[in-house]
Amino acid sequence: MHRFLRWSLCLALALALMPGSAGAQTKLLRFPDIHGEQVVFVYAGDLWIAPASGGTAKRLTAHPGLELFPKFSPDGRWIAFTGQYDGDEQVYVIAATGGVPQQLTYYPARGPLAPRWGYDNQVYGWTRDGTAVLFRSLRDGWDLADCRLYTVPRAGGLPSALPMPVTGAGEFSPDGSNVVYSYPFRDFRTWKRYQGGWAQNLYIFDLATNQAQQITDHPRADRDPMWMGELIYFTSDRDGTLNLYSYDPGTGATAQLTRSTTWDVRWPSADEEGRIVYELNGELVVYDVSADRSTPISIMVPDDGVAMRPSRVSASRDIEDFELSPKGQRALFVARGDVFTAPIEHGPTRNLTHSSNAHDKHARWSPDGARIAFVSDMSGEEEIYVINQDGSGVAEQLTTGSVGMLYWPEWSPDGEHIAYSDKEGKLYVIDVDTKRKREVADEPQGQVFDYTWSANGGYLAFSLSDRNGFTSIYIYSLADGELHRVTGAMFNEFSPAWDPQGDYLYYLSDREFAPQVGSFEWNYVVDRESYIYALALRKDVAHPFPPRSDEVEAAAEEGEEEEGEARGPIRIDFDGLAGRVVQVPVEADNYGALSAVEGHLLYVRGGPFYYGRSADVEPELRIFSLADREETTLAEDIAGYALSADGKKVLVRQGRNYNLYDVKPKGAESKTVSTSGLAVERVPAEEWAEIFDEVWRRFRDWFYVDNMHGYDWAALREQYRPWLAHVAHRSDLNYVLGEMVAELNVSHAYIAGGDFELPDRPRVALPGARFELDEASGRYRIAEIHAGQNEEERYRSPLTEIGVNVSLGDYVLAIDGEELVAPDNPYRMLLHKADRPVSLTVNSRPSLRAAREVTFNPITSEIALKYFNWVERNRRYVEEATGGRVGYLHVPDMSSDGIREFIKWYYGQIRKEGLIIDVRGNGGGNTSQMLIERLDRQLLRVRFVRTYDWPLTYPNSVFYGHLVTLLNETSASDGDIFPAMFKRAGLGPLIGKRSWGGVTGITGHGPLIDGGDVFVPQYGTNDLDGSWIIEGHGVDPDIEVENTVESVLAGRDLQLERGVEEIMRMIAADPKAFPARPAPPVRTK
């Protein structure tokens, strides 16, 4: 089809499918509020206002960023909302009639946050007198779950925190004396019918007495509180679906108001006239309290559909895969779901597939250069296709009936066959002409990725897993269908590469056993362990690296083969093959991606992996000369490479560039291949439909159990598919996908990312301090300076550094010479200054007279300082309460920060009598087993040295004391697993609250067509008896202790206090002292 004709049809289709077109009712109206005769809501990321009785909406905002959570002021004149005008989420106010929004908050928002965490600075409403906006923020906490409610004056100035330490949604009582709120906050979680330790309940907080009263206590979610008249209204999924309920504070009675069985009641908002507006199945519905009746509102949004319009967009930042033509004249790219070829220097860039409605990937060039094989889901399932490299004709489908992901179609050198693998671990070979396929192998522990053809196409080599976790090399014979194992099971062997001459099969094997020993304990870690080996394929093959000699060799006789000439069929003597192995003379290292070309081996050398810092050496492409036996670096800082079929050129990804090198050991010069011509004709409606189906398939194929938790997954797809016709923004699609996968009632079902046009987030210069307003003078003073550890950059506190003369209580009178007076916001004056020193004019009194000027080097986030101060308070408390006998350490996650904090604080306290391990707020990761292994070590013996005061232990780094673990509702994922395994190992009691209860692990399976992400729960967790554990419930503490609102406001941590009490009791009951030095032995005759 001619490109212009196709483009016109796409435009017509997009306009026809545009939500709200032709006067139809518009759906996917979100986050509504109601006042008088108007409703305000979000559509396609913008604010709109419409008659409460229905009708045509009027636009209030239009901006590339999102505008969310609109709330009318009590008098209906203003609308507060959360907006992304400057890149991050801040609180704004706009007139209900429209106009220029006024920004009220400036402190940098956390983010960008994963969708499951919602948005920082989320607006919930107003104070009852309309003088301030109520919102939820993360500004004072280190944990993403530690959010609280704030008010910010409508006239501007600094926000003020409400007393409740941690909250979710909230609203003031009609007289403003109380606040009803939910705790904890998990309103954006894609996990329906959740019953773990993080389930929400509702509370009333008395602002006069600072007392909190819990008013709901159900295993499932109670959320979205509203206080209207004498009753509190909220939503709950206690019957399986979110519905409206009411609660009478006077009697304690709860009543169900709506009875939706399919669709959740979402984001309800009440007015002062007895009405609640909410979302249901994409529509707005108004519930009339007095009439006990719900009435849908039919609204038409006359949106111009900017986000829906077809457009030509660059794909150069969305490259998934690349390859090189057989002789290296052109490059092959897969980007944004299309297959491209681009010239190395001269000529056109061609989009071969033009498939906005399909995700094309894993493209490979045929050996003769005429065709390209690729994987596409254009049929609704992934299949293998072949298309002419010049773009002529249509793609030919080779496979049929496939279910699930397919991987890299690798051509045989003669172009007659293609090898490919699938998500079930099957490896296939298909005849390109007849389309008949045969199963070659079945990988028992995942998928096969390193399959490679011999030079004549007669054999296929690859690796398969063994039960010990290693892989071994296999060879499949195309002629007789026999599968031969050619290496043993004792070592890890992988990445086979055929010698082009047919004499050797090279591969990598982990055979270097010279481990690195740790500095803090006598223990090892294996690194730089891989060697390169060569298998001699026949008994008559000479040694590839014979002793060197300067003897003169006779010239080859006529008829003898010269190096590089074509040879006949490759012959393999499988008898004794495993014993004909030779080590290539290259030092062991972290190798991968081995290839063999004429006269050379190519491979990637990677640096060691570190948690919390970058590798010492970025990946390098190395080249080894078989003749000279010398190794050199061909390219540095690489992220993959692709060889031409003739082995003479190599395309290397370095950063965002794709550079072409000659395959030569020395003096290599590169040419950068331009990717500027990679562009796609993007039709959002088509892309979003493909993404919807691909996400559904990924859950079908990768979900950790095939019964989908008992749900009819196909029926759920059809339940949510009609919403696609109303998606008008990429964020809408994420919402629809999130709702669908949430039905599976499982942890870690995440949807994120995609093609969003969002402004860059601002960089705010932060001083590591908290400002407060002195109302009498209208000046701001320093109310708190966050202490740090200035010897560590991550904990650097700017105002405490040497030479910065600032004291607690000082007034900040000007910033960079600009006078600071309320209601101006100090953080407004710190915008865009993070990359340079900032000056403050300060004084001990609110006067410029005798003020002094100080300069500080700012930081861009105060999260680490807030975390450090919280931990230090806990550590000091334990130190003082136990007289230094008990240690304390906090593990914030089970990733880089967590393992770092554990190492930092564990070894220095290893000789304490007791140790409190705090995993409250632990966000998970994958290192819990490292911690458990160290804590579970047993003291087996001690040694005494005459000149040493203290004994030496065996093992040397062993904690010989009592242990306690603190956990709470936000101990999550691997933060769930740690306390569970701590208990299983019998290491000590668990104290606190039941944990999150989400342990079904995830991994990625590549980006979606527009760069979006989907994470499928893939790894279930079982007990040794085969039962499912933790998921959906959490880990129960041995001693349940709640940090009540009142105790936190009093500056107490009841969980930590009980931990100290318990561990001191254990020490008293069972002192664990090292044995005394025995009397010297007498060994005389």
**CATH number of the domain enclosing 729:** 3.30.750
Tell me the C-alpha distance between 107 and 88, whole Å.
Answer: 10
Report whether pLDDT(555) > 90. no
Give the per-residue pLDDT at 2: 40
Distance of alpha carbon 382 from alpha carbon 516, whole angstroms: 44
Using DSSP's 3-state secondary structure scheme, residue 699 falls into: helix
- Asked whether the predicted pLDDT for residue 762 surpasses 80, the reply is yes
Domain boundary among 245, 278, 303: 303
Count other Cβ atoms within 10 Å, centred on residue 718: 9
| Range in 147-156, 662-671, 1071-1080 the model is least confident about | 662-671
| CATH number of the domain residue 162 falls in | 2.120.10.60
> Does residue 820 belong to any structural domain of this protein?
yes
The Cα 435–Cα 417 span in angstroms is 9
pLDDT band at 8 (very low <50, low <70, confident <90, very high): very low
Which pLDDT score is estimated for 23?
Answer: 60
- Asked if residue 981 belongs to a domain, the reply is yes
Whether 950 has a pLDDT exceeding 90, the answer reads: yes
> 870 and 855 share a domain?
no
Residue 5 has pLDDT above 90, yes or no: no
Q: How confident is the model at residue 569 (pLDDT cuts 50, 70, 90)?
A: confident
Convert the pLDDT of each residue in 202-244 to its tens digit: 999 999 999 999 999 999 999 999 999 999 999 999 999 999 9
Residues 796, 698 share a domain: no
Structural domain contains residue 176: yes
Residue 159 inside a domain? The answer is: yes
pLDDT higher than 70, residue 570:
yes
- Look at the block and give the residue holding tokens 């209208």: 778
Q: Per residue in 888-902, pLDDT tens? A: 999 999 999 999 999
> Among residues 832, 859, 886, which one ends one of the domains?
859
pLDDT band of 553, cuts 50, 70, 90: low
Same domain, 846 and 871: no
Instruction: Report pLDDT for 250.
Output: 96
Residue in this structure with the two tokens 């093992």, named with its chain if needed:
955
Residue 416 lies in a domain: no
- In eight-state DSSP terms, residue 831 is B
The H or E element containing residue 508 is: strand 504-510
Burial label for 23, CB within 10 Å (0-12, 13-18, 19+), is: exposed
Judge if 777 and 901 occupy the same domain. no
- Identify the pLDDT of residue 18: 53
Q: Per residue in 134-143, pLDDT tens?
A: 999 999 999 9
Domain match, 801 and 931 both: no
Residue 260, domain member (yes or no): yes
Q: Domain containing 837 — which CATH number?
A: 2.30.42.10
Nearest alpha-carbon partner for 389 in 360, 413, 361, 365: 365
Q: What is the end-to-end Cα distance of the chain in Å, rounded?
A: 105
Residues 204 and 250 in one domain: yes
Once rounded to an integer, what is the mean pLDDT over residues 1005-1010? 96
pLDDT of residue 764: 97
- Cα–Cα separations (whole angstroms), residue 156 to 90, 107, 268: 13, 13, 28
Q: Does residue 59 share a domain with residue 45? A: yes
**Do the domain assignments include residue 349?**
no
Q: Are residues 877 and 855 in the same domain?
A: no
- Residue 883: CATH number of its domain: 3.90.226.10
Tell me phi and psi for residue 897, to 5 degrees: -65, -40
Tally of domains in the chain: 4
Residue numbers of the domain that contains 989 = 864-998+1034-1069
Nearest-10 Cα torsion for 511, 516, 522, 523: -50
- DSSP annotation of 1062: H
DSSP state of 589: B
Asked if 29 contacts 15 with a C-beta cutoff of 8 angstroms, the reply is no
- Name the one residue in this structure whose structure tokens are 């409400």: 162
pLDDT at position 756 is 84
User: What is the C-alpha to C-alpha distance for residues 737 and 750, in angstroms, rounded to an integer?
Assistant: 9
Q: What is the pLDDT of residue 461?
A: 98
pLDDT value for 617: 75
Residue 568: pLDDT band with limits 50, 70, 90? low
Residue for token pair 């004994």: 951
The confidence score (pLDDT) of residue 668 equals: 66
Q: 909 near 1042, Cβ under 8 Å?
A: no
Name the band, by pLDDT with cuts 50, 70 and 90, for residue 13. very low
The residue with greater pLDDT, 370 or 615, is 370
Judge whether 1034 and 999 are in contact, CB under 8 Å.
Answer: no
Asked if 170 contacts 226 with a C-beta cutoff of 8 angstroms, the reply is no
Classify residue 117: in a domain, yes or no: yes
Closest CA to 91 of 73, 114, 76, 69: 69
Which pLDDT score is estimated for 269? 99
Query: What's the pLDDT at 19?
Result: 60
Same structural domain, 123 and 83: yes
Instruction: Please tell me the predicted confidence (pLDDT) of residue 612.
Output: 76
Mean pLDDT of 827-833: 97
Say whether both 90 and 187 belong to one domain.
Answer: yes
Arithmetic mean of pLDDT over the chain: 94
The average pLDDT across 838-847 equals: 98
Total-model pTM: 0.94
Please write the tens of the pLDDT for every residue from 790-804. 999 999 999 999 999
The b-or-e profile of 639-676 (16+ CB within 10 A means b, else e) is eebbbbbbbebbbbbbeeebbbbebbbeebebeebbbe
In contact, 570 and 454? CB cutoff 8 Å: yes
Q: Where does a domain end: 839, 859, 879?
A: 859
- Whether residue 164 sits in one domain with residue 38: yes
- Name the residue type at position 576: G
| Spatial separation of the C-alpha atoms in residues 837 and 855, rounded to whole Å | 6
Are residues 823 and 888 located together in one domain of the fold?
no
Least confident stretch, 84-98, 161-175, 755-769, 806-820 = 755-769
